[in-house]
Amino acid sequence: MVAMTGRWVFRGHIAGLGTGSGLRAVVGIWKASPFGAFTDVMVELPSGLRLLLAPRAEIADFIQTTYTFDDVMLVPVHAALGPNHESGKQLQVHAGPLRIDARIGGPTKLGGLIALVPRALAVHPRWLTLINPLAAALIPGVRTAGTASQGRQEFYGVTKLRAINSAATTWKGHDAGPLADISPAVRFGFSSVPTKPALATVQTTIVASDPAE
């Protein structure tokens, strides 16, 4: 079981993409966390149904107390992020009924600006609280600081942002359609991901409303 310290830090990547069918997915690829390395996926179906695909019950329990879902599926979840044969990187995700094979390109325009901020500052909760209004103005639906479920405070510190150039996505074996913007915004928490499909290198910090939690 994860230690309930009242402060949890997750370091890794978040990939957000939409499809022509209306399915939208947010993939968390965590290299370091209170649960060790793992991958989880939040999916919003064209119907609006919000699903969490998680590899273990303890991970699902924690994520459910921070975000909002209509249903949870405990399934094997695997992600591989590595070079492809052309340029950039390839992201492959296998998560129960979901399959994603995406090509990652270079930094976005915003990613170029983000890279100018020293990492220690870019992930600090005070900085993220300060720039939250600017982030909301620049990228509709995106927040860098806010209140999650149970009054927990959450901070998203992005240090790199790369475009997703293409993706083949299937749900239950059926083609979900070509890569598309994340529109409308996903509704798992107080913040969505950028409208344009992208892979962010991120540190997510969650702080309990009650230090004893």
Where residue 121 falls among pLDDT bands split at 50, 70, 90?
very high
Domain annotation covers residue 74 = yes
DSSP bridge pairs for 203:
11, 157
Q: Are the C-beta atoms of 135 and 80 separated by less than 8 Å?
A: no
Is the pLDDT at 185 greater than 80? The verdict is: yes
Question: What is the value of pTM for the model shown?
Answer: 0.92
Query: What's 186's DSSP letter?
Result: P
Domain annotation covers residue 2 = no
Q: Nearest 5°: phi and psi at 37? A: -80, 135
Domain annotation covers residue 48 = yes
For tokens 């079981």, name the residue: 1
Q: Domains in the chain: how many in total?
A: 1
Is the pLDDT at 2 greater than 60? The verdict is: no
Range(s) of the domain holding residue 166: 7-207
Query: Helix or strand or coil: residue 124?
Result: coil
**CA gyration radius, the chain:** 16
Domain annotation covers residue 92 = yes
Q: 31-85: per-residue pLDDT in tens?
A: 999 999 999 999 999 999 999 999 999 999 999 999 999 999 999 999 999 876 5
Domain annotation covers residue 1 = no
